[in-house]
Amino acid sequence: MRRARRTKILATLGPASDNPEMVESLFKAGADVFRLNMSHLPREKLKERVEMIRGIEAKYKRPIAILADLQGPKLRVGAFENDSATLVKGQSFVLDDDMAPGTSERVNLPHPEILSSLEPGHTVLVDDGKLRLRVKSVKPGFAVTSVEVAGKISNRKGVSLPDTVIPVAAMTEKDRSDLEAALDAGVDWIALSFVQRPEDVAEVKKVARGRALVMSKLEKPQAIARLDEIMEISDAVMVARGDLGVEMPLEKVPGIQKRIIRAARRLGKPVVVATQMLESMITAPVPTRAEVSDVATAVYDGADAVMLSAESASGQYPIEAVATMNRIAEEVEQDQSYWSIVKTQDAEPEATGSDAIAAGAHQIAETLHLKTMAAWTSSGATAFRLARERPNATVIALTPNIHTARRLALVWGTHPIRTKDASDIDDMAFRACKFAVREGFSEVGDRIIIVAGVPFGTPGATNMVRIAFVNSEHAAKA
């Protein structure tokens, strides 16, 4: 199941893809990572979904990454007397702590932490920005707003606060329970929604204790304002363009996307571009030209992965959506301008031994036009560093740790393989060549470059580069 592309595909599972046959078809069509959306997946069904994916993993002997996406705090207005009300531009509208049904003049906002955090001038967006309110005054228990964008407001519509830092953690009690269930089920990545500050990420990492890596979803202006701090503590990031496009001007989102991708590249951390990538394929068998360009742009920018949400979770054409994304990524990566664009974003290596080794191995591979780089890695750090260089060679990540192999399924250009650790330097070179042939990346007569750490099995000890020739003995053992 080797892929003819380096960019990975992340597919969300849902009602349209909740059986083994469909998930297997999505995997065969190109999905490398499966997302379980805890906003919609009952906790008691989580383990069943994970086991279903692990069954496919065992059948194809290919590591598959599983991402559990926590719901995060959902801010909503209360209910209305007649289920809805119509607001007029310029009128006053009150958000309060009164539990009585709402009217065209007021509604309950069952989040006291919001009412205490609002300030005059702050914007309140309702129903994905379809209504916009501006705070005029705040008193204990209520806030008076002016309606700037009018329309119909109905029961329990979502609330977004682009100007307000809410003094609540990104994890709710539901998220805590979901997180423990996800960790117990053995997922590989945890996506944290509505991150505002680095402390939000630290809280999840404290609970995870390395059992899964943490991906921060960047979807709030507050997160963009503290981007460097959040990216530093995160294991990966997601450009969650849905809420980001609600809370920030739409025209700013493309620039923010590029900024996040470049920052992630600089830090050597995976970055996923998500939301509405092939949205029209929810109901149509082919995407729009604009959607194709959108996916292509993320691939040209060097994103580690592109994500499908409703397209694969509840759409009418989930397999076609994955296959289409697969074809787009393959075509872009074969374009003659692809590498020149990717190389413009190369970052200077940090002053560490691991970075120096990775940069040196990349330079050797480029100079000798090598097709394959083999990284012996226990924690995955060596493969992460090599992928950061965006080499024009496949990175075969050889690891004795199945958890590491699965996590690396998300990483650009990386082909993870679980195998026993090398016993010595000769074994390291022999088996690296053997796997390169077996997986179809090298042939007899080729050279490959091998990166490892001595002593073997020591995390973070990357200190060796070796060039090896693939011979007939490697092919015979493959």
Instruction: Locate 174 and state its tokens.
Output: 């539901």
Render the burial of 297-332: b for 16+ CB within 10 Å, e for the rest: bbbbbbbbbbbbbbbbbbbebbbbbbbbbbbbbbeb
Distance CA 187, CA 36 (A): 9
DSSP for 31-83, please give it. Answer: --EEEEETTTS-GGGHHHHHHHHHHHHHHHT---EEEEE------B---BTTS
Is the CB of residue 170 less than 8 Å from the CB of residue 193?
yes
Q: Is 148 helix (H, G, I), strand (E, B) or coil?
A: strand
H/E element holding 177?
helix 173-185
Max Cα-Cα span within the chain: 81
> Does residue 145 contact residue 95 with C-beta atoms inside 8 Å?
yes
Tokens representing 336? 């003659």
- Total Cβ atoms within 10 A of residue 232: 13
d(CA 334, CA 414): 17
Cis peptide before 63 (omega within 30 of 0): no
DSSP 8-state code for residue 16 = G
Alpha helices by DSSP H, 389-424:
402-407
Neighbours of 387 (CB within 10 A): 26
Looking at the annotation, which residues are catalytic?
Answer: 35, 76, 217, 275
Sheet strands side by side (includes 372-376): 414-418, 394-399, 372-376, 447-453, 462-469
| Residue type for position 284 | A
**Strand ranges for 295-380 from DSSP E:** 305-308, 372-376
Residues in the chain: 478
SS3 label, residue 158: strand
What is the 8-class DSSP label of residue 102?
Answer: B
DSSP state for residue 278 in the 8-state scheme: T
